Chains A and B, each alone.
Chain A
Amino acid sequence: MSDYDAIVVGAGNAGSAAAITMASKGLSVLLVDRSDPPGTKNLSGGVLWGNDLAKILPKWQSEAPLERFIQDKKIGFLTEKSSIIIDFKTKVFEENKVGHTVLRSKFDPWLAKKAKEAGATVIPGITVESLVKKDGKIIGVEESGDAVTSNVVILAEGINPRLAIEAGLRPPLQDWEVSVGVKEIIKLSPQKIEDRFNLSSTSGLASEYILGNLGELNAGAFFYTNKDSISLGIVAPMERLRENGVTHTYDIIEQFKEHPSIAPLIDGGTVAEYGAHMIPEGGLEMVPQLFGDGYMIVGDSAGFGFSNGLVLQGMNYAFLSGIFAGEAAVEAKSRNDFSSSSLSTYKRKLDNSYVLKDLRTFKDLRKVTNNKSMYTTYPKMLESILLEMLWERGQPKKKVREILGSCAADLNVGKLKTATDFYYMYRRM
Chain B
Amino acid sequence: MLKIAVMIKQVPDSQDISIDPVTKTLNRSMARNVVNPPDVNATEAAIQLKDKYGGEITVITMGPPMADTALLQLMGMGADNGVLVTDRVFAGADTWPTGFTLASVADFLGGFDVIFCGEETTDSSTGHVGPGIAEFLGYEQATYVHKVEYENGFLIVVRDIEGAEETIKIGTPAVLTITLNANEPRNPTLKRKIDAYKKGIRLVTNKELRLDPACIGLKGSPTIVKDMKTVPDPIKNPSKPTIEELDKVVSVLIEKGVVK
Binding site for B on A (CB under 8 A): 3, 30, 32, 36-37, 40, 121, 123-126, 128, 141, 143-144, 146, 148, 272
A-facing residues in B8-23 (Cβ within 8 Å): none
Shortest A74–chain B CB gap in Å is: 28
- What CA separation (Å) do A143 and B187 show in the bound complex? 11
Would A126 and B190 be within 8 Å (CB), given that A37-B32, A40-B32, A121-B197 are in contact?
Answer: yes
- What CA separation (Å) do A144 and B187 show in the bound complex? 9
Give chain B residues whose Cβ lies under 8 Å from the Cβ of A30. 194
- What CA separation (Å) do A254 and B191 show in the bound complex? 45
Contact across chains for A124 and B69 when beta carbons are under 8 A apart = yes
Shortest A2–chain B CB gap in Å is: 13
Is B193 among interface residues, defined by CB-CB distance under 8 A?
yes
Closest to B196 in A: A123
- What CA separation (Å) do A10 and B34 show in the bound complex? 20
Closest to B33 in A: A37
Give chain A residues whose Cβ lies under 8 Å from the Cβ of B181. none
Would A272 and B194 be within 8 Å (CB), given that A125-B73, A144-B189 are in contact?
Answer: no
Is B132 among interface residues, defined by CB-CB distance under 8 A?
no
Contact across chains for B32 and A123 when beta carbons are under 8 A apart = no
**Interface size on B (CB < 8 Å)?**
14
- What CA separation (Å) do A126 and B191 show in the bound complex? 10
Is B188 among interface residues, defined by CB-CB distance under 8 A?
yes
Contact across chains for A146 and B191 when beta carbons are under 8 A apart = yes
Contact across chains for A144 and B69 when beta carbons are under 8 A apart = no
- What CA separation (Å) do A152 and B181 show in the bound complex? 41
Would A146 and B190 be within 8 Å (CB), given that A121-B197, A124-B69, A125-B76 are in contact?
Answer: yes
Contact across chains for A126 and B30 when beta carbons are under 8 A apart = no
What are 15 pairs between A and B in contact, CB < 8 Å?
A: A30-B194, A36-B69, A37-B69, A124-B69, A125-B73, A125-B76, A125-B193, A141-B190, A143-B190, A143-B191, A144-B189, A146-B190, A148-B190, A148-B191, A148-B194
- What CA separation (Å) do A175 and B236 show in the bound complex? 42
Contact of B190 among A36, A40, A144, A272 (CB under 8 A): A144
Give chain B residues whose Cβ lies under 8 Å from the Cβ of A141. 190
- What CA separation (Å) do A30 and B197 show in the bound complex? 11
Give chain A residues whose Cβ lies under 8 Å from the Cβ of B197. 121, 123
Closest to B70 in A: A36
Closest 8 CB pairs of A and B: A146-B191, A143-B190, A144-B189, A126-B190, A123-B193, A121-B197, A148-B190, A143-B189
Give chain B residues whose Cβ lies under 8 Å from the Cβ of A121. 194, 197-198
Binding site for A on B (CB under 8 A): 30, 32, 69, 73, 76, 187-191, 193-194, 197-198
Give chain A residues whose Cβ lies under 8 Å from the Cβ of B76. 125-126
Closest to B30 in A: A272
Shortest B75–chain A CB gap in Å is: 12
Q: A40-B32, A128-B190, A144-B191 are in contact. List 19 more A-B contacts (CB 8 A).
A: A36-B73, A37-B69, A121-B194, A123-B190, A123-B193, A123-B194, A123-B197, A124-B69, A125-B188, A125-B193, A126-B188, A126-B189, A126-B193, A143-B189, A143-B190, A144-B187, A144-B189, A146-B191, A272-B30
- What CA separation (Å) do A180 and B30 show in the bound complex? 25
Closest to A141 in B: B190
Give chain A residues whose Cβ lies under 8 Å from the Cβ of B194. 3, 30, 121, 123, 148
Shortest B17–chain A CB gap in Å is: 13
Shortest A63–chain B CB gap in Å is: 17
Closest to A32 in B: B190
- What CA separation (Å) do A143 and B193 show in the bound complex? 11
Shortest B96–chain A CB gap in Å is: 31
Give chain B residues whose Cβ lies under 8 Å from the Cβ of A40. 32
- What CA separation (Å) do A40 and B69 show in the bound complex? 14
Give chain B residues whose Cβ lies under 8 Å from the Cβ of A124. 69
Give chain B residues whose Cβ lies under 8 Å from the Cβ of A36. 69, 73
Shortest B24–chain A CB gap in Å is: 18
Q: A3, A36, A143: which has the most chain B beta carbons within 10 Å?
A: A36
Give chain A residues whose Cβ lies under 8 Å from the Cβ of B191. 143-144, 146, 148
